[in-house]
Amino acid sequence: EGRDIPVLKISDNAAKDENEPEVLFNCNQHAREHLTTAMCLRIINRYTDQYQNDEQVKKMVDEREIWVIPTVNPDGSEFDVESGEYQGWRKNRQDTGTDLNRNWGHKWGCCGGSDDDPNSETYRGPEKFSAPETAAIRDFVNSRVIDGQQQIKANIDFHTYSELVMWPMGYTTDEVTEGMTQEEYDRFEAVGTKMAETNGYTPQQSSALYITDGGISDWMWGEHKIFAFAFEMYPSSGGVEGFYPPDEVIEEETKRNDQAVNILLEE
């Protein structure tokens, strides 16, 4: 439907491209996962408003370039709420909808972790990056390759729900695979476990939940060696109402990830 996908940059001297590690946080790939949008807004508010008050925030703003995309799927998320009645909508708004988190180009459609039926909730689209949303973010991430070096070093893709910290790969239950050594896997597990100790989520390889292909974290790592995690936020379980917690939980359930966000920025 042509809505813009906003991206914000937070850093000292933000108008300049400085030689500082870049980190990307993105939210709301899935339309109904509105708590994640609030998560990205909290990151934005914290790393701006708290600059004077919080030493860790100041250090990260001074020494990193922080990119935040609060909504990857603005058409879908607007559709989910615009009638005044929640639609339980997951995908984008292209025809019957493409599941953006099955449309990324690493091992797209390889392994039974997505659907070729346009009516499916996990429809992968007619080809990789057929969705304007994934194509736009692919182009942005590709544009951060400067002199052959990817500037973005780490990423969290926020979802709801199940209270999980997940790392690649999603398309296979193998730890070591094409583009993933045991040493690399072990670092994912170590940092994922460390982050999970701060928010009380369960740390696991993505494929331990279920196999997905065409997921964002597989692409971030597989194509760019970006240290990429996916978080499933509050609640830990439920039905469709799990996507629509009351607004009273926003502060507590987004604050819950402050330390994990700090840890990834440090790493």
How far apart are CB 52 and ligand 0X9 at their closest, in Å?
35
Token readout for 68 is 């935040």
Residue from 9, 117, 139, 210 touching ligand 0X9 (CB under 6 A): that is 210
162: Cβ contacts below 8 Å, ≥ 6 apart: 209, 232, 236, 237
Task: Indicate which residue of 232, 251, 253, 266 is catalytic.
Answer: 232
Query: 22 by DSSP, 3-state: which?
Result: strand
Is 11 near Ca ion (CB under 5 A)?
yes
Is 159 near Zn ion (CB under 5 A)?
yes
Residue nearest to Ca ion (CB): 11
Catalytic residue check, 232: yes
Say if residues 102 and 75 touch (Cβ distance below 8 Å).
Answer: no
Q: In what order do the strands lie in the sheet with 8-10?
A: 8-10, 65-69, 22-27, 152-160, 227-233, 164-167, 202-205
How far apart are CB 18 and Ca ion at their closest, in Å?
4
Residue nearest to ligand 0X9 (CB): 170
How far apart are CB 33 and ligand 0X9 at their closest, in Å?
6
How far apart are CB 90 and ligand 0X9 at their closest, in Å?
7
Token readout for 262 is 């700090």
Site for Ca ion in 129-158 (CB under 5 A): 151
Token readout for 178 is 């094409």
Q: Which residues are identified as catalytic?
A: 232
Interface residue list for Zn ion (CB under 5 A): 30, 33, 159
